[in-house]
Structure 1
Amino acid sequence: MPTARATWKGFVKFGEVACPVALYTASSSSDRIAFNTLNRKTGNRVRREFIDEETGATVGHENQVKGYASDNDAYVVLEPAEISAVIPESDKTLKIEAFISCSEIDTVYFDKPYYLTPDKMGEEAFVLLREGMKQTKVAAIAKAVLFKRVRTLLIRPHDDGLVATTLNYDYEVRSSQNAFDDLPEMKIESEMLALAEHIIETKMGIFNATTFDDQYENAVAELVKAKIEGRKLPKRKPAPVAQKGDLLRALRDSAAIGDPPKDKRNRATGPTKHPTTKRKVKQTSETTRKAS
């Protein structure tokens, strides 16, 4: 069983079969460097207060309520008990409503992924569901009350288990027409298209998440490390600005570079392995104290 704390526990139900399961967050930003806001003059941490915009008085938690802005700058005030009364009741069931083709849902609807795992009593039913979905190459659409809302989830086989991804509602996804309406229709020259296809072919590879570094996180970690050690980082050279030029010439120049060697194509060059950023900075701090 996973060592992380489950985000949700309940049952996944398909037909009359119910399997006890748990959801575990599949992605997290908790390993990123976190900052506190300080008073520059004293070095002390600062805290936020809620201030009445008109009177300037501090408003305590017990006097804070939610308000919906209506017409004429008026607010509809909602008490905590009123909001709680409309939260849907949870029956702790992840109910599968339909099975669909894995490629049927546009990825713009994907929200947050979770690992879906069974407990000991539900392993047989869980494996049955997983293998059935693998054999038929389908995903499942399910609904459950998560975090006070009725959420729709897409469940798919993943390695030895299942991944449940919460889906955005239709009203939350903006129409692509808003982005692409002004894009004119163009006829691309056959030579340009052939060159583009050649370049794409030479750059074909296999996705490997370990080949992508979080450059900002690494740079911040190095900055913190340098501050602890009392040294300055060298000034970074500005990145060259891409120049707008002749498209056909750029394609010809790119194609002229040639194919990469076959033994190097698709090879994944991962980043240098190192501990998590927080641990690395902490260890550096301890080393500095020992040295002094």
Structure 2
Amino acid sequence: MAPRANWKGFLKVGELSCAVALYTAASQSERIAFHTLNRKTGNRVHRQFVDGETGKPVERDDQVKGYEVAQGEYVTFEPDEVASVVPESDKTLAIEQFIACHDIDDVYFDRPYYLAPSDPVAAHAFNLVRDAMKKKQVAALARTVLFRRVRTVLIRAHDTGLIATTLNFDYEVRSSDEAFEGLPKRKIAGEMLDLARHIIDTKRGEFDPVKFDDRYESALAEMVKAKLAGKPLPKPKAVKSTKVVDLMEALRQSAAGGKAAKKPAAAKKPASAKKATPQRKAS
């Protein structure tokens, strides 16, 4: 079955345009989901909005949006007032500029989508844009209305199509200054840095998403299977506690593959060696 498009419109570069569609690239729909049930009847329960003070249910027609201006004080907005500020969409993904692929910090990345031509006629122009971007090794910044908001989208060549990643707004990305405040700026050198480099070299590899399993999801699946089969629920494995050791010792053990590293033996002094006697300075 062909995937359902999240959005359809036109990719526009200058005077060139082609019909395109966005498809979800990352989804959580395959995760195991539980419904909340009434323990007594086994029926599903549904959420209901209730008044915070009286506890009585509030019907949909009696619900309005409110912005809190002070503790317990709100300015209210009717649904049509909120709808009036939703931007109108012309269904155009207009490319505003091309940038180097590494120019944007990935902390701004929001959600990825596959971008593909939505009809055979558009394929030629679409392929032209994709191949030109590959040749120049650039990404594109475009803007359009997606899901009731004007969004900035980063477009990159990907296999035979394009990846369109919505970007977080600047006000949504928090500064790292507070998180990194107080971190020492001293440089690490000597054996400690050499050991760290060695560990990185021995663990160097390539990203393979198949190797990174969701252990919580797997445990839920095993629990569901056991329930359906009427078997005892699997017991969680005990987590091994780690001993706190000094940084240098931890690096040595890591470099040795988890085994205690042998410290180099101290050089023996010759039998005839005598302790040097400090000489007095001439007065």
User: Normalising to structure 1: TM-score of the pair?
Assistant: 0.85
Distance 1:155 1:252 in 2: 44
Asked whether the equivalents of residues 223 and 234 of structure 2 are also in contact (C-alpha less than 8 Å), the reply is no
1:145 equivalent in structure 2: 145
Q: Which amino acid aligns with 2:115?
A: L
Query: Match for residue 164 of structure 2?
Result: 164
More helix by share: 1
Bigger mean CA offset, 192-201 vs 40-49: 40-49
Aligned to 1:54: 53
Residue 72 of structure 1 deviates from its aligned partner by 4.8
Whole-angstrom distance in 2 between the partners of 1:72 and 1:112: 34
Q: Deviations over 1:44-69 (max 9, x none)?
A: 21111111112222101111111000
Point out where structure 1 has 5 or more consecutive residues left out of the alignment.
259-292
Aligned to 1:70, the other structure's residue is in SS state strand
Distance in 2 (alpha carbons) for counterparts of 1:221 and 1:34: 10
For residues 98 and 244 of structure 1, what CA distance do their matches in structure 2 show? 51
Q: Give the structure with higher Rg (CA).
A: 2
Partner of 1:23: 22
Amino acid of the residue matched to residue 157 of structure 1?
A
| Paired position in structure 2 for 1:76 | 75
Partners of 1:122 and 1:77 in 2: CA distance: 46
- Cα-to-partner distance string for 1:16-45 (whole Å, 9 max, x where unaligned): 101110000101011111110012222221
Structure-to-structure mapping, 1:1-292, within 5 angstroms: 3-118=2-117, 119-257=119-257
SS in 2 for 1:55: coil
Q: Residue 178 of structure 2 aligns to a residue in which SS?
A: helix
The residue number in structure 1 matching 2:279 is none
Supply the distance in 2 between the matched residues of 1:152 and 1:218 (Cα, whole angstroms): 36
The residue type equivalent to 1:186 in the other structure is R
User: Aligned partners of 2:71, 2:41: CA distance in 1, in Å?
Assistant: 44
Q: Where in structure 2 are there 5+ consecutive unaligned residues?
A: 259-283
Task: Supply the distance in 2 between the matched residues of 1:37 and 1:73 (Cα, whole angstroms).
Answer: 31
Read off the aligned partner of 1:7 and give its amino acid letter.
Answer: N
1:265 corresponding residue in structure 2: none
Deviations, residues 218-252 of structure 1 (Å, cap 9, x unaligned)? 11011011001111134223211222211111211
Query: How many equivalent pairs are there?
Result: 257
CA deviation after TM superposition for structure 1 residue 181, in Å: 0.8
Please give the alpha-carbon distance, in whole angstroms, between the structure 2 residues aligned to 1:72 and 1:197.
54
Distance (Å, rounded) in 2 between the aligned partners of 1:45 and 1:62: 24
Q: Which gives a bigger RCO, structure 1 or 2 (Cα 8 Å, sep 6+)?
A: 1
Q: TM-score, normalised by structure 2?
A: 0.88
The whole-number CA distance in structure 2 between the counterparts of 1:64 and 1:107 is 39
The answer as to whether partners of 2:101 and 2:138 remain within 8 angstroms in 1 is yes
Give the superposition deviation at 1:120.
0.9
